[in-house]
Chain A
Amino acid sequence: MNLNANENANQESGKTMTTSVQPSSLSSVASANPQRTESQRAQGTGLETRGIHAWFGKNHVLSDINLDFTAGSVTALIGPSGCGKSTFIRTINRMHEFIPGAAMAGEVLLDGKDVYAPGVDVTKIRLQIGMVFQKPNPFPSMTIGENVLSGLKLAQLKVDNKDDLLEECLIRAGLWTEVKDRLDTHGGALSGGQQQRLCIARALAVRPQVLLMDEPCSALDPGSTLRIEDTIRELSDTMTIVIVTHNMQQAARVSDYTAFFLSEGGPGHMIEVARTSEIFSQPKDQRTENYVTGRFG
């Protein structure tokens, strides 16, 4: 979120996707600290949306969303059901267009390049912008290991050491210690919370710059939820995370920035975006205050 004009000053630009995936140092995972300052954040390329509109048929569901996501930050999208949060994140990795009758307008800039530009390979966009869904969806007949590495296989990416990558992704997703002795069991045999972390590990294996999460904890018990929240905090050291959540406390706990969406009878639009501490202590807009204090929605 570009609330501070200097925040993005040192970002590298023009980083393109590599076709070879290398395990990175695990030390950054171990040193993850939720109390980071802006200068300690991962500096990378940012994600921006410019004038995003979305339609289902003639129904205008989302209007003029302009958001800058600072690299290495967690942004929570909150708002009542039907306000366009999920539709918005689905425009970011070009999933919205696969719904029959769906249309969109505007730009989604990753590294300054529009993901909707002519000639852009949608599959490659999804490697850079991963997604975790509300319901855990591992491939049930694949083993845990196969699940994690499935993205590489589908995208025909080469990796030097699959075992190292597998371990790294499962560690970063907070699942390694629970499954390291049974990587050959099927993904469907895990609990709901473990399956969700497996899906996160799977998303990480292709080294996305951005991870979109659509209510990733809404089907999970409180313990699994906390583990996934820990995972989100740790991952945000190295990537940009956008999370849709209906759980206010979750938004307050895990995110650096919070954006409030509302439809008010028309297309969903953004009412307010600010640092999360501000949204939950002193929101500027009365509608935001009414929503976060539970007075409507």
Chain B
Amino acid sequence: MALIRSVFQDELDGVSQSLVDLTQMVSASISKATTAILSADLKLAEEVIATDDHIDTFQHELDARIIDIIARQQPVASDLRALVTALRMSADLERMGDMSHHVAKIARLRHPGGAVPAELHPMFQAMGTAAEKIATKTGVVIATRDTVMSLEVERDDDEMDKLHRQLIGTLVDPSWKHGVESAIDLTLLGRYYERFADHAVSVSRRVYFLVTGTFA
């Protein structure tokens, strides 16, 4: 039979691994959602929407497990920080899944038409790629607890913010010719990608806190 403390360590490692798994899930879901919105792919949009339920269930089970560990092991110091932080990170990651879900829902709503005009495809492709990369990097930050990399994620988010500003600039330009409905869709889509990246930054900051005990 395993020693109590090694069981505890395994449980802590398991929580960390589940968070990494969540980052991979949301990275895949935003990637698919981007493809769905740019190619008006209904099947892929439905898949992203279904995956979000899976992400939600995964998060609920993870939170229940964390609460169970806190109740039974009464962790302190860095262990307590890791678990309380994990609870908050799981909420951020779940919200990132929601953002992918929202993108997919706009793809489904506008099907068989496309929500994104052709001239904006490169911009949304860039936002999609940035979102996917930032989620993947966040997973590495959680797995390695690399505080330098955790601060890098913040800089990666600057790229997303830049794209978002460009998008808003395009939409409010008097030369915009696709109408109000499209502008609303694109405003929301831009917001979803921007928020997705913000949640990743939040997760990375929490990793910094759990390692150092101070906020970056």
Decide: A294 and B8 in contact? CB cutoff 8 A: yes
Decide: B5 and A289 in contact? CB cutoff 8 A: no
Decide: A294 and B77 in contact? CB cutoff 8 A: no
CB of A59 within 8 Å of the partner chain:
no
B79: chain A residues within 8 A (beta carbon): 293
Q: Which one of A109-117, A185-193, A277-285 contacts B?
A: A277-285
CB of B175 within 8 Å of the partner chain:
no
Q: A288: nearest residue on chain B (CB-CB)? A: B77
In Å, the complex CA distance between A294 and B76 comes to 9
Contacts known (A281-B213, A282-B213); A252 close to B5, Cβ less than 8 A: no
Decide: B213 and A249 in contact? CB cutoff 8 A: no
User: Chain A, 265-289, contact with B by CB distance < 8 Å: what is the 0/1 string?
Assistant: 0000000000000001111000001
Decide: A281 and B80 in contact? CB cutoff 8 A: yes
B81: chain A residues within 8 A (beta carbon): 281
Decide: A249 and B74 in contact? CB cutoff 8 A: yes
Q: B214: nearest residue on chain A (CB-CB)? A: A282
CB distance from A79 to the nearest CB of B (A): 15
CB of A36 within 8 Å of the partner chain:
no
A282: chain B residues within 8 A (beta carbon): 77, 213
What's the dominant secondary structure at chain A's contact region? helix
In Å, the complex CA distance between A292 and B74 comes to 11
Decide: B76 and A292 in contact? CB cutoff 8 A: yes
CB of A295 within 8 Å of the partner chain:
yes
In Å, the complex CA distance between A115 and B98 comes to 68
Interface residues of A in 218-257 (CB under 8 A from B): 248-249, 252
Decide: B74 and A293 in contact? CB cutoff 8 A: no
B76: chain A residues within 8 A (beta carbon): 248, 252, 280-281, 292-293
Report the count of interface residues on B (CB-CB < 8 A): 12
CB of B114 within 8 Å of the partner chain:
no
In Å, the complex CA distance between A107 and B139 comes to 55
CB of B78 within 8 Å of the partner chain:
yes
In Å, the complex CA distance between A283 and B213 comes to 10
Q: Which of B8, B75, B77, B78 has the largest number of chain A CB atoms within 10 A?
A: B77
In Å, the complex CA distance between A248 and B75 comes to 10
In Å, the complex CA distance between A283 and B80 comes to 13
B77: chain A residues within 8 A (beta carbon): 280-283, 289, 292-293
B5: chain A residues within 8 A (beta carbon): 294-295
Q: B4: nearest residue on chain A (CB-CB)? A: A294
In Å, the complex CA distance between A293 and B80 comes to 9
User: Chain B, 68-95, contact with A by CB distance < 8 Å: what is the 0/1 string?
Assistant: 0000011111111100000000000000
Interface residues of B in 140-195 (CB under 8 A from A): none
CB distance from B213 to the nearest CB of A (A): 4
A295: chain B residues within 8 A (beta carbon): 5
Q: A294: nearest residue on chain B (CB-CB)? A: B5
CB distance from A263 to the nearest CB of B (A): 20
Q: Which of A280, A283, A293 has the largest number of chain B CB atoms within 10 A?
A: A293
CB distance from A194 to the nearest CB of B (A): 27
In Å, the complex CA distance between A292 and B81 comes to 13
A294: chain B residues within 8 A (beta carbon): 5, 8, 73
B73: chain A residues within 8 A (beta carbon): 294
A252: chain B residues within 8 A (beta carbon): 76
CB distance from A252 to the nearest CB of B (A): 7
Residues of B bordering A, CB below 8 Å: 5, 8, 73-81, 213
List 16 additional contacts besides A282-B77, A293-B76, A294-B73; criterion CB under 8 Å.
A248-B74, A248-B76, A281-B76, A281-B77, A281-B80, A281-B81, A283-B77, A292-B76, A292-B77, A293-B75, A293-B77, A293-B78, A293-B79, A294-B5, A294-B8, A295-B5
17 contacting pairs across A/B (C-beta < 8 A): A248-B74, A248-B76, A249-B74, A252-B76, A280-B76, A280-B77, A281-B81, A281-B213, A282-B77, A283-B77, A289-B77, A293-B75, A293-B76, A293-B77, A293-B79, A294-B5, A295-B5
Residues of A bordering B, CB below 8 Å: 248-249, 252, 280-283, 289, 292-295
**3 cross-chain pairs, A with B, having the tightest CB-CB distances, nearest first:** A282-B213, A280-B76, A293-B79
